[in-house]
């Protein structure tokens, strides 16, 4: 079950989104633009934000939710501060990327697609990252880690702990 967004604590963010909507309300494709801006502000699109967008744009909530859940660039679940992507493309998979993914899942105590309780990490399986010569490969934010050995995962993660 999704955690409820603290609307009062995020009042400034809602005001910023309202200003954005006011400035772009008459644009074509305003819903997509607004969802992008909302995700940029909030980091994801919780139902409270979707309801706000629905009200401000006078668009049915079902339509807002439909767009937010259809397109993969939008997320209705919170994402971690650090995004980890493990390549499961052919070269990486053959060289053991599934073992790397399993080790990350165990170390972080989350499943693929999940976010840690402290919102520090989100774990994703990806397709080719274009680093086949370094297989198996993962990315944490914009940093590429190649020729991975699952034993090195705790050491790598420690660089991102805060």
Q: Assess contact for 91 and 131: CB atoms under 8 A.
A: no
Q: Are residues 102 and 131 in the same domain?
A: yes
Q: Alpha-carbon distance 90 to 144, whole Å? A: 18
> What is the domain range of residue 23?
11-70
Does one domain contain both 86 and 147? yes
Q: Which CB contacts under 8 angstroms, 24+ apart, belong to 63-66?
A: 63/31, 64/31, 64/35
Tens of pLDDT, residues 26-38: 888 899 999 999 9
Using DSSP, state whether 143 is helix, strand or coil.
Answer: strand
pLDDT of 70 over the 70 cut: yes
Same domain? 88 vs 62: no
The number of angstroms, rounded, from the C-alpha of 96 to the middle of its chain's C-alpha atoms is 24
- Residue from 153, 155, 31 nearest 100 by CA: 153
Tell me if 117 sits within 8 A of 155, measured CB to CB: no
Clarify whether residues 87 and 153 are in a common domain.
yes
For residue 40 the two structure tokens come to 């940029």
Please check whether residue 6 lies inside any domain of the structure: no
Strand partners, 144: 139
The 8-class DSSP code of residue 147 comes to S
The predicted-structure confidence for 88-146, as pLDDT tens digits, reads as follows 999 999 999 999 999 999 999 999 999 998 889 999 999 898 999 999 999 999 999 99
Same domain, 96 and 121: yes
pLDDT score for 124: 93
Domain final position from 21, 47, 70 = 70
First to last CA, the chain: 26
Does residue 41 sit within a domain?
yes
């Amino acid at each position: 079950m999704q955690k409820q967004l603290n609307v009062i604590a995020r009042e400034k963010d809602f005001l910023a989104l309202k200003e954005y909507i006011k400035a772009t309300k008459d644009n074509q494709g305003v819903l997509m633009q607004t969802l992008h801006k909302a995700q940029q502000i909030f980091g994801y699109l919780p139902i409270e934000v979707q309801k706000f967008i629905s009200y401000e744009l006078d668009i049915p909530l079902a339509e807002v939710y439909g767009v937010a859940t259809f397109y993969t660039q939008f997320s209705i679940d919170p994402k971690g501060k650090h995004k980890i992507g493990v390549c499961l493309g052919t070269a990486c998979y053959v060289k053991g990327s599934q073992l790397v993914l399993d080790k990350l899942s165990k170390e972080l105590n989350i499943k693929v697609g999940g976010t840690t309780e402290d919102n520090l990490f989100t774990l994703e399986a990806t397709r080719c990252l274009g680093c086949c010569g370094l297989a198996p490969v993962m990315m944490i934010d914009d940093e590429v880690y190649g020729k991975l050995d699952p034993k090195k995962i705790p050491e790598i993660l420690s660089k991102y702990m805060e």
